[in-house]
Amino acid sequence: MEITLGHTPDADDAFMFYGFASGKVSSSNFTIKHVIEDIETLNRRALAHELDVTAVSAHAYAYLSDYVILRGGGSFGLNYGPVVIAKKGSGITADRLKNARVAIPGRMTSANLLLKLAVGDFKEVEVSFETIPDAVLSGKVDAGLVIHEAQITYDRTKFDGVLELGPWWDSQTGGLPVPLGINVASKRTMTANQLKEFSDLFVQSIEFGLENMDAAVDYAMQYARGQPRETIARFVRMYVNDITRDMGPSGRKAIEKMFLMAKEKGFVHSDVQVEVV
């Protein structure tokens, strides 16, 4: 069976798929066709049910039908996560984000939902994630919500860190991991047995990367966006962790908690049944 497999051009995703890409993890039952797009594009393609397996924002799962979450491959922060930045000396504080113009990397991103949970409504300005710092510096927006490696690499001489969503989430949930990215598989195109087999195979790919860290980071460097190897290795270690191997009860509870909070605040309008395989 040929499977369309969507993932982002980001180092942590590339690291997880290194086992597949290197050919060291495979199955005679699956032929994998890689589809590489930014996360918000993958969210939209999942809404249209265009991919058999794909990375999506955990937030996007609230709007999907006939997809099940794979137990492996999740990106969860452990008391860290997306960061809101503002121009140095602008006077923007967390309290002033409500109704501010904030650059976001996509409306269905988990970062966007987490910021709404933290501060309430704000004026969303949707731009590509890599241009968010420039949008802040140019004055196009009052603040920007940075994801991926920009969380740790934004220029502290030009920007103030206004709000770190990882510690905020940690304080609100009693230490649950921060749910950011997940991988989902289609119940329309794959049988229950195929879903289980591919889920197990994906865990093997992640474990292969962790067991061959240097080679997997070397592979991930093609998506480094100009960052040095030590930065990419640090970022990968942050977001490819024990919960990435298997989200387990804490990962599932974190996703359920995010949707419960979102429904209570009116950002998600129905109960979301979290199904993991």
The question of whether 148 is a catalytic residue gets the answer yes
- Per the residue annotation, which of 34, 49, 148, 269 is the catalytic one? 148
Q: What is the 3-state secondary structure (H, E, C) of the chain?
A: CEEEEEECCCHHHHHHCHHHHCCCCCECCEEEEEEECCHHHHHHHHHCCCCCEEEEECHHHHHCCCEEECCCCCEEECCCCCEEEEECCCCCCHHHCCCCEEEECCCCCHHHHHHHHHHCCCEEEECCHHHHHHHHHHCCCCEEEECCCHHHHCCCCCEEEEEEHHHHHHHHHCCCCEEEEEEEEECCCCCHHHHHHHHHHHHHHHHHHHHCHHHHHHHHHHHCCCCCHHHHHHHHHHHCCHHHHCCHHHHHHHHHHHHHHHHHCCCCCCCCCCCEC
* Active site residues per annotation: 148
